[in-house]
Amino acid sequence: MRDSAIITIPSHPKYLSIVRAVTGKMAELSGMAESAIEDVKLAVDEACSNVIKHAYKGNVYQKIILRFKTSPKGFEVIIEDNGLKVHPESLVGRDLEDIKPGGLGIHFIKKVFDIFAFDEKKKKGNRLRLLRYIKGKDGD
């Protein structure tokens, strides 16, 4: 095993601070720039919040698995749950001009990750793959 880490947590919002801590450290180890690290922490937090809210409908005793992998290609996070299947057509953030609560998570995720893709082969639950390609020195 190398350049990777796996964490399994309950689907309770109090574990989001652990998700952020691990995400931040893994991003740091990957050599990412400080501002991108902050964006990545926010994005992974949002993806897990969505699992809790949408896939698990607020049930806080389910399981979320996060797999981190750093490689010359980029920084990858795979997030798995056993909740309700995502409807791909529902995966849209709100129009940023239409000010109302909610609908920002997907925007924050797509801001920093180049790939945001649910694995269609997973039978039960969801497997979200997030990948950020290695950027040049001032890449954002």
Ligand X SMILES: Nc1ncnc2c1ncn2[C@@H]1O[C@H](COP(=O)(O)OP(=O)(O)O)[C@@H](O)[C@H]1O
Contacts to a copy of itself by CB under 8 A: 1-12, 14-15, 17-18, 21-22, 24-26, 29, 60-63
Give DSSP secondary structure letters for 31-42.
T--HHHHHHHHH
Between 1 and 99, CB nearer to another protein: 99
**Cβ distance 65 to 129 under 8 Å?**
no
67 binds ligand X (CB under 6 A): no
> Using CA atoms in the order 14, 69, 111, 104, what is the torsion angle rounded to 10 degrees?
-30
Q: Closer to another protein at the Cβ: 46 or 80?
A: 46
Pairing of strands 74-81, 4-10: unpaired
**Residue 68: exposed, middle, or buried by beta-carbon count in 10 A (0-12, 13-18, 19+)?**
buried
Query: Which does residue 96 bind out of ligand X, a copy of itself, another protein, none, counting CB within 5 to 8 angstroms by kind?
Result: another protein
Burial of 93 per CB tally in 10 Å (0-12, 13-18, 19+): middle
Q: Can you give the binding site for another protein, defined by CB under 8 A? A: 12-14, 16-17, 20, 38, 41-42, 45-46, 49, 52-53, 96-97, 99-105, 107-108, 111
Give 3 or 119: the residue with its C-beta nearer to another protein.
Answer: 3
Site for ligand X, rule CB under 6 A: 46, 50-51, 53-55, 86, 90-91, 93, 102-106, 126
